Structure 1
Amino acid sequence: MQRFPPLAGLSLAALLAVAGCSSSSPSPSSSPSPSAEADGTTTADDGSRTYSSEELAAILDTVTEADGTALQVLPTDQIDQGMDQARRFLESVVITPEECAVFASNTLEVPEDAGYATGVSGAGGDAVQTIVSASSSADAAFFPGRIDASSAALQACSSFTVEAQGVVIDQTVQDVDAATDADRSFGNLTLQSSPDGARQETMTVIGTRGSLAVTAVRTARDALPQGTQDELQDLIDETLAAAAG
């Protein structure tokens, strides 16, 4: 059965999955090493510092799923290729109504100074995939602004279509009442169906704190496993705790 790539994950991580790739970092930021002072002691992050791609990759390397499965943080060249493929893919599809394209375009707008990294894990023969992405920018308003844009679009785009390779894929999106340790949380659940009867569910939870945004995504053929929302929220909290040091 032919399957078509998902578009409505509302996150950088989901688009990287679309492109068949996930992971760390194009451009490292100029931030200092992770919360370490000259005498070698560590201090908690107050939300004002930024993280380089290398630091974020090291943070995600410590994160595990509920069953103890570690995330696999992949190399820089794969994320570069994935971003290019995602942009080309978006240029080749038609999203109706047009304003609903913000769900995808927001994920490819990254400040020049941003550091980011992505880790993935799979289960059930890749029928279920979990992706965690961490991003950091000195522009503290950037990530909340992307959440605001997606939240506004969600009100008008609870249902839309994506035409890819001549096939129309129906999308429905609903809000998820996300609760994390972040300063700001946002979530959504997407159901995709194609004419051949294929179905895919994707849940996305985003948490932002200061210069840091963490996105946890799980996508599954047919239906997501029970407990997905709690597990995604826990992944965000674990990443934020590791970043705080």
Structure 2
Amino acid sequence: MKQLLFFLMLCINFKAYCLSPQYTEKALVIAASAYLPPYMMEHTNSGIQLEIVKAALKSQGITHLDIHYMSNKRIEQQLIQGKIDIALNFPATVHADVYKSEALLYYQNVAISLAASEFTINSVYDLAGKSVLAFQNATNFIEPPFKSITHILRSYDEVINQEAQVDHLMKGWVDVIILERRVFLYYLEKYKQSAKHLPFVVHPIFQRAPRPAFFNNKALKETFNIGLGKIIDSGEYQAIIRLDGTEYAKLSTDKLSK
């Protein structure tokens, strides 16, 4: 039995390593969101998520990368049409020609309101009657029943540029914003540099969500998974998580809301 398992693992590794050379000659096209720091930052071609992907591919000898930045909806379309090789944001819908990797990391989407509003929000149903501003394609990324309750909101909109969400909340233009916790903290720090921020409350009403990478090539996905495991074992993964902007996520909600 042990010999059989060893043989199967050897075959998977051989297949993956045989795939790598074709991507050393032609650039691997990766699609990422342009407005998702600290996970993806267009101006530096970096961020936590991108650095994990780069390191995993590099461990497999794949370094020729072409990173394109676009909206979540366009990323979905481009991957299905085979115009890109890897998508870093893709809704949790089943598609026959799309293969997802092991989780790169986990996102924690949250609802955030101003403390002065004194809202009690313990579930998505408590958003009823409120004006909500979410990130683009949130209804496809956030788990049910979020999508089904948007019709009971006073208003519901989505934006591509999530920096606007913080601005709208602090100016009282919306009751609640919905976005990933690290993304909010990143833009909050930026907002503080030019404007006074108001006390706020974080409502953790959504589940922690794994964020894999998505491929239209199964063999490339397997190659990537091997590379991801390799950088986790070597400690390189932990270094990326620790050094790429996660100091925001380490701060407690109590300290941040003061």
TM-score range relative to shorter protein: under 0.3
Structure with greater proportional strand content: 1
Bigger CA radius of gyration:
2
TM-score (norm 1): 0.26
Q: Higher RCO, 1 or 2 (CA under 8 Å, sep at least 6)?
A: 2
TM-score (norm 2): 0.25
